[in-house]
Each structure stands twice: as structure tokens, then as C-alpha cells.
């Protein structure tokens, strides 16, 4: 019995990095009910997020319509690193500035510009909302980047927790970019075949709108659905090269 108990404890003990902890805090933050929000039908992002095990979820999935969906948690965990020190500078600034508040991305951007900080192209930093472009990640977010005193790129990030893109963003947190320009790359993803001896794979940089073969000419248009013994679609797609295995989605 003792051994069993120990095993059970070991299984539930998950050690999160500071980045993962910060991201999960944001993804489960109660962003409230905005009057524009139609979340009652589908469940708002933050409500769906309660109790989710982000760490063990796959980094990407392909749904039964062949649509790619990349886990925002895994995407951000890959390209960003939570910076407690720079985040503390931001929080202290918010405490001293009435127009601030943790959700105030624009006032902080204006403040950084006043201090002489620049964006990654040497111009003023700009706020992007990925809602306005192609993306494969499963939740939208807004952010701006600036170059810090140490030459690293920092990201002020706020994740959307609701259904309607106009309201329901989390408080901002500050991260450091660990993959150059990775934060902008929200529309990429991959598909690959798991069968032995088959190296079929595709990648997209347009959220799955166009797929390009890694090792072969073949398109990934109109993939063949896998069917069970009764002829029902299983929701997976057969590899169009070997037909032996189903395709797996990946983040890149
Ligand atoms: Zn294959």
C-alpha cells in the first residue's frame, strides 16, 4: 500500500517553471463577463480553462474537419520566458500611476516610449492583436514588444479570456522573448505521419490555409478521413503518402 501511495503522489506532483505558472495564471484568470460577450453558449475561455491540465495537453491537434489548432499555452511556453524582475518593474509602475492598472497596455507602452525605448525595428513599439490576422493558436492575445537595456526583446502580454475579441483580456504580464520573433509566428504548425519508414510531413505558415510538403511534392488538400469497421469517420486523417497511419499535428 505504501508503494502505491507513493506512486500516486509522484504522479500528481507537477513541477511548473515560472513561465508555465505565469501562463496558467493568465489562462485561468477570471476576465469577467463583458456585455459584448456571447460566451454563454460556448463557455468563455477562462471558464473552459478551469481544471485543465495544460502541461499534458498535446501542443497541437487536427479536428475532424482538418482544422489545425495549436495550444496557446505550449506556443507561449516555447517562445517566451517569464521575467519576474521586469514584470515587477511593470507592476510597480502600475501601482504609482492611476491611469495604469495591470490591464493597461497602452499607458505603459506610452511610458516606455517617453523613456526612449524602441520596438524591435527601431521604431515605436506597436500593439498587435492576433485576432486581426491568420493564426492557428486556440486563444487570441494582444501584445507589444520592446528592446530592453540588455538588448533582449521584452513582451507585454495580455490573453483574451472571453468569446468576444473586443472585451475580456487578462492583466498584462511581462515576458522575455527566447525565440527571435517567435511571438509573431502564430500561424505556423505541422503535420506528420507516424508510420515506420514514412517521412511524410507538411508545414503551414498560414494557420493551415496552405500546407507545404517537407519531403514530397504531395499537397495536403482534401485529406482522406480514416474510417472504422462500420465506415464511420473517426475524426482522424490517413497519411496520403503511405495510408498506413493517421496524421499527427504539431506546433511547428
Ligand atoms: Zn505515411
- For residue 245, the CA-to-ligand 1 centroid distance in Å is 6
Q: Under DSSP, is residue 39 helix (H, G, I), strand (E, B) or coil? A: helix
Nearest to 220 by CA among 197, 193, 194: 193
Q: State the residue range of the domain holding 79.
A: 17-59+69-184
Residue 9 forms part of a structural domain: no
| pLDDT for the residue numbered 110 | 95
Q: How much of the chain, in percent, has pLDDT values that exceed 90?
A: 54
d(CA 194, CA 169): 38
In a domain, 64, yes or no: no
Which is more confident, 204 or 161? 204
Statement to judge: residues 91 and 214 lie in one domain: no
Question: Cβ–Cβ contacts within 10 Å for residue 105, how many?
Answer: 18
Same domain, 103 and 175: yes
**Residues 169, 211 within the same domain:** no
Q: How far is the CA of 187 from the centre of ligand 1 (A)?
A: 24
Q: Long-range contacts of range 42-51, CB-CB < 8 Å, 24 or more positions apart?
A: 42/163, 44/161, 44/162, 44/163, 44/168, 45/139, 45/159, 45/160, 45/161, 45/162, 45/163, 45/168, 46/161, 46/162, 46/168, 49/161
Task: Looking at the structure, tell me whether residues 93 and 200 fall in a common domain.
Answer: no
pLDDT of residue 235: 87
Distance from the CA of 219 to the center of ligand 1, in angstroms? 13
Task: Give the confidence band of 147 by pLDDT, cuts at 50, 70, 90.
Answer: very high
Helix or strand run (H / E) with residue 93:
helix 84-96
For range 15-34, the mean pLDDT: 84
Give residues whose Cβ lies within 5 Å of ion ligand 1: 193, 195, 198, 200, 239, 241-242
Q: Give tens-digit pLDDT for 85-141.
A: 999 999 999 988 866 666 789 999 999 999 999 999 999 999 999 998 899 999 999
Cα 205 to middle of ligand 1, angstroms: 21
* pLDDT class of 164 with cuts at 50, 70, 90: low
Domain end call among 128, 156, 184: 184
**pLDDT at residue 2, as a whole number:** 43
pLDDT tens for residues 50-68?
Answer: 667 899 999 999 888 888 9
C-alpha 201 to ligand 1 mean position (Å): 8
Amino acid at each position: 500500500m505504501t508503494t502505491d501511495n507513493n506512486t500516486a503522489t509522484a504522479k500528481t506532483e507537477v513541477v511548473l517553471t515560472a513561465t508555465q505558472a505565469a501562463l496558467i495564471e493568465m489562462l485561468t484568470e477570471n476576465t469577467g463577463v463583458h456585455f459584448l460577450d456571447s460566451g454563454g453558449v460556448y463557455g468563455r475561455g477562462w471558464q473552459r480553462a478551469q481544471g485543465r491540465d495544460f502541461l499534458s495537453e498535446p501542443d497541437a491537434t487536427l479536428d475532424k474537419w482538418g482544422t489545425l489548432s495549436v495550444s496557446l499555452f505550449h506556443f507561449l511556453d516555447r517562445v517566451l520566458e517569464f521575467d519576474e524582475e521586469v514584470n515587477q518593474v511593470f507592476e510597480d509602475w502600475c501601482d504609482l500611476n492611476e491611469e495604469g492598472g495591470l490591464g493597461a497596455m497602452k499607458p505603459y507602452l506610452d511610458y516606455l516610449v517617453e523613456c526612449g525605448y524602441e520596438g524591435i525595428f527601431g521604431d515605436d513599439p506597436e500593439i498587435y492583436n492576433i485576432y486581426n490576422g491568420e493564426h492557428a493558436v486556440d486563444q487570441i492575445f494582444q501584445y507589444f514588444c520592446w528592446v530592453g537595456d540588455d538588448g533582449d526583446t521584452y513582451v507585454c502580454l495580455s490573453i483574451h479570456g472571453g468569446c468576444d475579441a473586443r472585451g475580456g483580456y487578462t492583466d498584462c504580464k511581462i515576458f522575455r522573448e527566447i525565440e527571435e520573433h517567435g511571438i509573431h509566428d502564430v500561424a505556423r504548425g505541422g503535420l506528420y505521419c507516424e508510420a515506420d519508414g514514412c517521412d511524410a510531413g507538411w508545414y503551414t505558415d498560414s494557420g493551415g490555409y496552405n500546407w507545404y510538403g517537407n519531403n514530397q511534392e504531395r499537397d495536403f488538400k482534401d485529406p482522406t478521413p480514416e474510417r472504422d469497421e462500420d465506415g464511420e469517420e473517426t475524426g482522424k486523417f490517413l497519411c496520403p503518402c503511405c495510408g498506413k497511419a493517421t496524421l499527427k499535428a504539431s506546433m511547428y
